[in-house]
Each structure stands twice: as C-alpha cells, then as structure tokens.
C-alpha cells in the first residue's frame, strides 16, 4: 500500500487542474473581449475619420454651417445608437465622430425633425440660427400666437419650412384659435388665413372642421412656394395628416401630385381660397382686424393667421431693363420652353435645378458672381459638374448682369471689370427672396434675430 497516492492528494490534484482550466478560460475570454474591443475601437476610429473627412469637405463646399432649422446634439446625452442617422431621410446631415453624433452638411438640413424624435436619450434639439449667423423670425409663443393679440403665425415664416411640419403647425394653430373665437362678434369672418401653402391649407381645413367662418388669401396661386417649383421637381416629404382629408403617405412626389391632393381636399370641403389676392395692410378696428388687399378688396376678421413664406418677394438685381417681360423669377413649365437662348442668374439649388431642366431643349448660360458653386445639395453638385463636363451648360463664373436689353444681356466680370454682350431671349433670376420685414413691422409684429435658439427641445 506504500506507493499509492492518498485520497486527499488526488482531490487536490483535480482541484488544481480545475483552477488552471478556469484561469485559462478567463484568459481566453479576456483575450477575445480585448480583441473585440480593439476591432471595435479601430472600426470606430475608421468611421470617425470618414465622417471627419466629410465634415472637412462640407466646410470646403460651404455646407457645414447651418442656414435654417438644424439639429444640435448634447454630447453629454448622446450614447451613439445611430438612431438619429437612420431616421434622417436626407444623406450625410448627421454622422458620428469619437462616439458622439455631430452635423456634417448642416446647411442641407430641411428641419423635418426625424432625428429629434428618434433620439432615445433626448439629446437632440432643433435650433435656428447660429452664434455666427443670425436668422430673423417674428416672435411666437407655444400656441403660435404673435406679440399682437389676434394674429398667429405658422409654417415657414415661423421657422418651419418642411411640408409635414408646416401642415401640423397650421392645424395646431387653428385648434388653439378655435378656443378663442367668441360665438358672436362684429367681423365678417372668424378667421382670415394669409397664404395658401401647406400651413395655410391645413389651417383653413382645420377652421372648416371647427365650423369657423374662414377665408384664405393667396398673393399667387394655390400651393404657395410649392407651386413655384418646376413641374418635375421632386418634393421630399414624409407622411402627414391633412385635416378633413386623412393620412397622406408621400416620400417622393411631384409638385403636380401634391397640388392635386390639396385641390381635392379644398374642393371636397368647399374651402374658399382667393388667389391673386395680395394683402397690403392689416389694421385693428373695433376689436377686430381690417385686411386690405392690392386689388382693392377689404375683409374684416376676428383673427388672422399668417402662413406666408419667409422669402416674401423675390430679390431683384435693380439693374436697367429688369422690368422687361423676358425676365422671370421662377420657372413654372420648363417642358414648354424650347429653342431659346436662356440666361439663368444665380448659384443656388433653384438656379442649378432650373438650368438643368432647360438645357436639353435650349441654349442655356448660367451667370454666377462667385468662382465656384457653394451650398449645393450633393445630387445637384454631381449633376451640374456632369453637365459642365458634357458642355450642356455655359457657366460664366465671377459675373453679374448689369443691363438687360430686348435681344441681349450685358454681363460684368468681377475679375477685370470688363463687360460682355450675350444674345438672349429669356432671363431667369434666382437671387433669393427678402423677408417681408416692413410689412410685418407695419402690422406691429416683433422681429427678433435667433442665434442658435432652440425651436424644439425636450
């Protein structure tokens, strides 16, 4: 019996072997976790570098600085789920750098707010303006009321330009107004809506829903800004709830399809829209408002909702001959224009899109005061560069019109101050628009400049 191991020695041996196996298991798991972490960190660094390169390019292209409503991320609240990026229907508005969401092409944000609603930690606010670039907006409270009692504001003028948001604002504004309108008053209308764009149409339909006596005045044509889009222009939107019509699920649609929906909703509900009726003044009298229009008509109303665009009227160049009939500030039916010598003035998306819609059937030149295009949507940038390469467009950088004549246009060069005469049939000017500040101030509205103020915040 002398050489046999004791029972306790055998137990100790197996215990030691078990401990070694456990240690080896822990080491293997640790190594695998470590490898996973290293791969993850490297992947994150690679992704961050790609986003940083996109941001650098956006700064070169002039697309990094926001110009309107845009997301601002609280880095202390961001946990890098990527939900905001996946929710955004646009491309490269947001990205992740070093584990935190950030903006890339901020100037291309159209303010739909999908990122705001998708963030699980409520780390995103929608802001307007920046510390460097202020944006003028009339003052409104949470119920869309201005500083003038009885005048409300919804849609683009209040900072929300996207169709879905404008529709929602128009609806919410009138839901609140309906609670304020007394059963009896001495005005002709309970509510007068100014502007027949998305917010105005939604507001007028909501007024009908609440049995308010309402009318909508539009200085141009039904659809407002949307009507001025070229026919083939694609409107990016998202599902919206149009009062008295129902859910409208559109992601990509033409101007015509969108206008058809609005026309159907208006006709079905017998809504009154007075087109070609520009409002010139709004005055208070005996507890209500007197609204005077350019065509001499006068309306009295208890409440006014401003649903006009921020552009107001197109910005003019103020040069000789600009009042000519050959000059236009919007492109309506490009397919009907052929065999013309056309000059497009401007370097923004509207100018670029219009030039490309016209170039196949016409001889198109584009005059732009800078030496390169900035702030263009990525798709427009790609298309315009391709068109230039194929000689479909004649681009005249560093130039600006100084005189318009019957058969030609005279351009001035910023490089040498020389002028050149170009034969011309039609001119389209896209120099932006001007906020109708004087009209708003005359009404008594307070205009403030927003330097990064939060419009939507959790």
Model confidence pLDDT, tens digit, residues 379-408? 888 899 999 999 999 999 999 999 999 999
Q: Which residue has the higher pLDDT, 295 or 433?
A: 295
Torsion of the alpha carbons at 347, 350, 356 and 359, rounded to the nearest 10: -80
Average pLDDT over residues 106-112: 74
pLDDT value for 8:
60
pLDDT value for 407:
95
CATH class of the domain defined by 327-434: alpha beta
Band of residue 322 on the pLDDT scale cut at 50, 70, 90? very high
Phi, psi of 256 (to 5 degrees): -60, -40
Q: Which residues fall within 8 angstroms of residue 407, CB to CB, at 6 or more apart? A: 423, 424
Average pLDDT over residues 108-137: 82
pLDDT value for 223:
76
What stretch of H or E contains 292?
Answer: strand 288-293
How far apart, in whole angstroms, are the C-alpha atoms of residue 64 and residue 71?
A: 12
Q: Which residues fall within 8 angstroms of residue 106, CB to CB, at 6 or more apart? A: 58, 63, 64, 65, 66, 70, 93
Measuring CA to CA, how many Å separate 324 from each of 228, 327, 404, 456?
Answer: 20, 6, 8, 44
Q: Which residue has the higher pLDDT, 285 or 226?
A: 285
Q: What are the extents of the domains in the chain?
A: 9-126, 136-222+267-312+436-456, 327-434
pLDDT at 29 over 70: yes
pLDDT at 289 over 90: yes
Structure tokens at 129: 């303006």
Structure tokens at 394: 């004649």
pLDDT value for 65:
81
Measuring CA to CA, how many Å separate 179 from each of 93, 143, 144, 274, 314?
Answer: 39, 11, 13, 25, 36
Q: Which residue has the higher pLDDT, 438 or 46?
A: 46
Q: Which residues fall within 8 angstroms of residue 24, CB to CB, at 6 or more apart? A: none
Phi, psi of 198 (to 5 degrees): -55, -45
Structure tokens at 186: 């001495």
Phi, psi of 90 (to 5 degrees): -85, 175
SS3 label, residue 2: coil
Range scoring the smallest mean pLDDT among 187-191, 206-210, 229-233: 229-233
pLDDT at 288 over 70: yes
Using the structure block, give the residue that is written with the tokens 């001959």: 321
pLDDT at 162 over 90: no
Closest CA to 419 of 430, 433, 409: 409
- Residue 334 DSSP label: G
pLDDT value for 228:
64
Structure tokens at 156: 């683009």
Candidate CATH numbers 3.30.70.3420, 3.30.70.20, 3.20.20.70, 3.40.50.300; the one for domain 9-126:
3.30.70.20
Instruction: Classify domain 136-222+267-312+436-456 by CATH number.
Output: 3.50.50.60
pLDDT at 160 over 70: no
Structure tokens at 369: 């005061």
Burial per residue of 300-323, b for 16 or more beta-carbon CB atoms within 10 angstroms, e otherwise: bbbbbbbbbbbbbeeeebebebee
Band of residue 312 on the pLDDT scale cut at 50, 70, 90? low
pLDDT at 1 over 50: no
Average pLDDT over residues 416-442: 89
User: Beta-carbon neighbour count of residue 416 at 10 Å?
Assistant: 8
Phi, psi of 59 (to 5 degrees): -70, -40
Within this chain, domains 9-126 and 327-434 share the same CATH topology: no
How far apart, in whole angstroms, are the C-alpha atoms of residue 406 and residue 409?
A: 8
pLDDT value for 343:
97
Average pLDDT over residues 339-348: 95
pLDDT value for 111:
67
pLDDT value for 367:
97
Average pLDDT over residues 179-206: 93
In 155-278 the beta strands, taken as DSSP E runs, fall at 189-194, 214-217, 234-236, 240-242, 246-248, 252-254, 273-274
Closest CA to 258 of 355, 162, 152, 335: 162
């Amino acid at each position: 019996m002398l050489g046999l191991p004791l029972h306790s020695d055998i137990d100790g041996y197996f215990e030691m072997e078990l401990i070694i196996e456990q240690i080896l298991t822990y080491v293997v798991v640790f190594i695998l976790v470590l490898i996973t972490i290293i791969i993850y960190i490297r992947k994150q660094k690679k992704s961050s570098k790609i986003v940083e390169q996109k941001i650098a390019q956006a700064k070169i292209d002039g697309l990094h600085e926001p110009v309107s409503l845009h997301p601002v991320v609280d880095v202390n609240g961001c946990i890098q789920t990527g939900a905001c990026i996946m929710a955004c229907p646009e491309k490269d508005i947001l990205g992740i750098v070093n584990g935190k969401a950030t903006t890339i092409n901020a100037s291309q944000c159209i303010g739909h707010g999908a990122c705001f609603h998708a963030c699980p930690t409520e780390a995103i606010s929608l802001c307007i303006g920046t510390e460097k670039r202020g944006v003028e907006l009339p003052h409104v409270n949470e119920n869309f009321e201005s500083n003038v009692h009885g005048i409300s504001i919804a849609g683009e003028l209040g900072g929300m330009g996207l169709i879905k948001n404008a529709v929602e604002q128009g609806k919410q504004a009138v839901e609140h107004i309906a609670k304020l309108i007394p059963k009896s008053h001495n005005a002709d209308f309970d509510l007068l809506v100014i502007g027949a764009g998305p917010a105005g149409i939604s507001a007028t339909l909501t007024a009908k829903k609440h049995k308010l006596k309402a009318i909508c005045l539009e200085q141009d044509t039904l659809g407002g800004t949307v009507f001025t889009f070229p026919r083939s222009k694609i409107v990016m939107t998202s599902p919206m709830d149009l009062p008295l019509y129902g859910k409208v699920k559109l992601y990509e649609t033409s101007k015509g399809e969108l206008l058809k929906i609005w026309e159907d909703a208006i006709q079905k509900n017998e809504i009154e829209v007075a087109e070609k009726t520009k409002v010139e003044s709004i005055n208070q009298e005996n507890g209500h408002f007197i609204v005077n229009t350019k065509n001499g008509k006068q309306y009295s109303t208890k409440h006014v909702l401003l649903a006009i665009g921020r552009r107001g009227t197109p910005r003019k160049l103020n040069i000789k001959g600009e009042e000519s009939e050959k000059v236009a500030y919007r492109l309506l039916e490009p397919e009907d224009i052929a065999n013309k010598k056309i000059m497009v003035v401007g370097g923004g998306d509207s100018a670029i899109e219009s030039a490309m819609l016209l170039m196949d059937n016409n001889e198109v030149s584009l005059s732009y005061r800078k030496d390169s295009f900035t702030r263009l949507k990525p798709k427009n940038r790609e298309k315009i560069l391709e068109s230039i390469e194929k000689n479909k467009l004649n681009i005249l950088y560093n130039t600006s019109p100084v005189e318009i004549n019957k058969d030609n246009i005279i351009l001035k060069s910023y490089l040498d101050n020389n002028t050149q005469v170009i034969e011309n049939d039609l001119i389209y000017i896209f120099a932006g628009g001007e906020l109708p500040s004087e009209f708003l101030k005359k009404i008594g509205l307070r205009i403030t400049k927003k330097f990064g103020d939060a419009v939507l915040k959790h």
